[in-house]
Amino acid sequence: VRESLVVIALLVVLLYMSWQLTLIVLVVLPVSVYTASVFIRRLRRINRDTISMNAELTHVVREGIEGQRVIKLFDGYGREADRFAYVNARLRRFAMRAASADAALSPLSQFFIAVSVAAVIAVALYQANQGALTVGSFAAFMAALGQIFDPVKKLTKIASGMQKMLTSAESVFTLVDSLPEADEGKQELGDQIQGRIEFRNVTHRFEGVETDVLNQVSLVVEPGQTVALVGRSGSGKTTLVNTIPRFVEPLEGEVRIDEHNVRDIKLKSLRRHLSLVSQDVVMFDGTIADNVGYGSLHDASRQEIRDALEAANLLEFVDSLPQGLDTPVGENASQLSGGQRQRLAIARALIKNAPILILDEATSALDNESERQVQASLEQLMAGRTTLVIAHRLSTVQKADLIVVLDSGRIVEQGRHDDLLAQDGLYASLYRMQFREE
Ligand SMILES: Nc1ncnc2c1ncn2[C@@H]1O[C@H](COP(=O)(O)OP(=O)(O)O)[C@@H](O)[C@H]1O
Ligand SMILES: [Mg+2]
């Protein structure tokens, strides 16, 4: 009885917060419970299929989330009729496949779950875009929803089926979290920017975290310079560079490009001037040409794509494939090796030809040999651009104009390689550690 009361109370809360979402959940819930009970009975038999299905659903949502940054940075909005059409198409495909995959589970209820997930996503996105649902209230909604699942689980003694919904719900939360981007910027950057970057007392703290991830960071990167950011994992390097495309908006301080505060620049205009090659390379489920062309601000010609691939040291490999440029890369380019993926990302950045370049552990997926190969393409990419490079291998930063050492969100040392070694501080000890490893 107590459990039921809890459920009712929570339902009232949910209804109050967003009746549209609650209605969907109310419809989904009984069906899920039913599906889940069928599910449980046949769990053993369909276990293998379930695992791959879950993985696929998670993959679909993840690709949507990760892909977002790529879409944003390369301004893919226009090409995606809607930036979520992509995820939706994948969800639909998932639903279709799930529905036809296994006769052990009623195809209808599987289809229903997939469609409800899509519906929750759609409604949440819609409301978020309308400004009717803030990230905060969506978080609260999800928290309450999470709580409601608990008693329901006990009531029905069914866990497994729910798990899938919850995982998806969590992913949706992350998706919505990064969704409606405030764009108060009015200024347009001209075509020819100098590419000076300045961080002024940048301080940031993530919600729900006790300590500052960035603490009064001030740094100037002059046009054309290469500055290397070095520091232990978790020291705030990625967060710092993420303030430039405004993936992260610092709580205090400002980030400037030339004389403009990035906050005052239109996102579209801002990101046109940035190229990013990051740790986790995100590729779309298309051909090699599609993925490289994605970087281009106009429709890249085949020749331009070939040139970019050549500069990234990948053309020879692509030409050796039977389908060449039109080879499908598979989901997140799973058909390619880590090194090939990274070189593809470099080609994508090259074709964008932006004056500011951010390399966030761009060679982390490479072994020493392929890193040496990519190094040349990276140097070509860096030439004449303002570059911020985060490298996990210190050998790749030795040539930088300036090395900046971050520790717990603060700049603790800066200088040239030899000077920092002579100082015998954190850089020297990181360097020695690295040296021993290699
Ligand atoms: N979105 C986030 N929410 C909360 N904490 C985060 C988020 N992103 C990063 N962090 C935390 O901030 C710290 C710095 O992360 P990061 O900038 O990625 O470091 P680095 O790139 O130097 O390894 C880490 O402790 C990380 O766990
Ligand atoms: Mg990082």
DSSP line for 240-253: HHHTTTTSS--SEE
Domains of the chain by start residue, with CATH: 2-177 (no CATH), 197-437 (3.40.50.300)
Q: What is the pLDDT of residues 227-265, one digit of tens each?
A: 999 999 889 999 999 999 998 899 999 999 999 999 999
Q: In this predicted structure, what is the pLDDT of residue 105? A: 46
Question: Of the ligands numbered here, which is closest to the C-alpha atom of 233?
Answer: 1
Ligand 1 centroid from CA 234, angstroms: 6
Question: Of the ligands numbered here, which is closest to the C-alpha atom of 229?
Answer: 1
Q: Which atom of ligand 1 lies at the shortest distance from residue 240's CA? A: 17
Query: Nearest C-alpha to atom 21 of ligand 1 is from which residue?
Result: 238
Tokens representing 132 are 């009717």
C-alpha–C-alpha distance, residues 363 and 390, integer Å? 10
Helix axes 135-156, 19-41, angle to 10 degrees: 30
Contact in structure between 248 and 204 (CB atoms under 8 Å):
yes
Q: In this predicted structure, what is the pLDDT of residue 252? A: 96
Q: In this predicted structure, what is the pLDDT of residue 45? A: 41
Q: In this predicted structure, what is the pLDDT of residue 222? A: 95
Q: Which atom of ligand 1 lies at the shortest distance from residue 248's CA? A: 1
Ligand 2 centroid from CA 306, angstroms: 30
Ligand 2 centroid from CA 158, angstroms: 39
Question: Of the ligands numbered here, which is closest to the C-alpha atom of 406?
Answer: 1
pLDDT tier at 205, thresholds 50, 70, 90: very high
Percentage above 70 pLDDT, the chain? 56
Q: What is the pLDDT of residues 298-311, one digit of tens each?
A: 678 899 999 989 88
Query: Nearest C-alpha to atom 17 of ligand 1 is from which residue?
Result: 236
Query: Nearest C-alpha to atom 4 of ligand 1 is from which residue?
Result: 206
> What does DSSP assign to residue 39?
H
**Going by C-beta distance under 8 Å and a sequence separation of 6 or more, which residues neighbour residue 110?**
35, 95, 98, 99, 101, 102
Kind of pairing between the strands at 252-257 and 260-261: antiparallel
Find residue 405's DSSP bridge partners: 230, 413
Please, how many CA atoms are within 13 Å of residue 95, restricted to the half-sphere of its CB? Answer: 17
pLDDT tier at 418, thresholds 50, 70, 90: very high
- Burial class for 254, CB neighbours closer than 10 Å (0-12, 13-18, 19+): middle
Comparing 370 with 316, which gets the higher pLDDT? 316
Q: In this predicted structure, what is the pLDDT of residue 104? A: 40
Ligand 2 centroid from CA 393, angstroms: 13
pLDDT tier at 437, thresholds 50, 70, 90: low
Q: What is the pLDDT of residues 87-103, one digit of tens each?
A: 555 555 554 544 444 43
Question: How many CB atoms are located within 10 Å of the residue 211 CB?
Answer: 9
Residue 277 has pLDDT above 80, yes or no: yes
Ligand 2 centroid from CA 242, angstroms: 10
Comparing 178 with 274, which gets the higher pLDDT? 274
Q: What is the pLDDT of residues 119-177, one digit of tens each?
A: 666 666 666 666 665 666 666 666 665 555 554 444 443 334 444 444 554 554 444 44
Residue 47 has pLDDT above 60, yes or no: no
Residue 433 has pLDDT above 70, yes or no: yes
Q: How far, in whole angstroms, is CA 7 from its chain's centroid? A: 35
Question: Of the ligands numbered here, which is closest to the C-alpha atom of 239?
Answer: 1
Q: What is the pLDDT of residues 380-415, one digit of tens each?
A: 788 889 999 998 676 678 889 999 999 999 999 999
Q: In this predicted structure, what is the pLDDT of residue 407? A: 95
| Ligand 1 pocket residues where CB is under 6 Å | 206, 209, 213, 231, 233-239
pLDDT tier at 2, thresholds 50, 70, 90: low
Q: In this predicted structure, what is the pLDDT of residue 203? A: 97
Q: Which atom of ligand 1 lies at the shortest distance from residue 229's CA? A: 22
How high is the mean pLDDT of the chain?
A: 74
Residue 288 has pLDDT above 70, yes or no: yes
Which strand (E) or helix (H) includes residue 60?
A: helix 43-73
Which range among 51-55, 122-126, 208-212 shows the weakest confidence by mean pLDDT?
A: 51-55
Q: In this predicted structure, what is the pLDDT of residue 370? A: 72
> What does DSSP assign to residue 332?
G
Residue 342 has pLDDT above 60, yes or no: yes
Contact in structure between 77 and 181 (CB atoms under 8 Å):
no
Q: In this predicted structure, what is the pLDDT of residue 384? A: 87
Q: In this predicted structure, what is the pLDDT of residue 353? A: 84
pLDDT (mean) for 215-219 = 97
pLDDT tier at 36, thresholds 50, 70, 90: low
Q: Which atom of ligand 1 lies at the shortest distance from residue 232's CA? A: 22
Contact in structure between 110 and 122 (CB atoms under 8 Å):
no
Q: In this predicted structure, what is the pLDDT of residue 158? A: 38
Highest mean pLDDT among 55-59, 60-64, 247-251 belongs to: 247-251
Q: Which of 211, 239, 360 to mutate to test the pocket of ligand 1 (most atoms within 8 A of CB)?
A: 239
Kind of pairing between the strands at 226-230 and 386-390: parallel
C-alpha–C-alpha distance, residues 357 and 56, integer Å? 33
**Residue that the structure tokens 């009970």 belong to:** 37
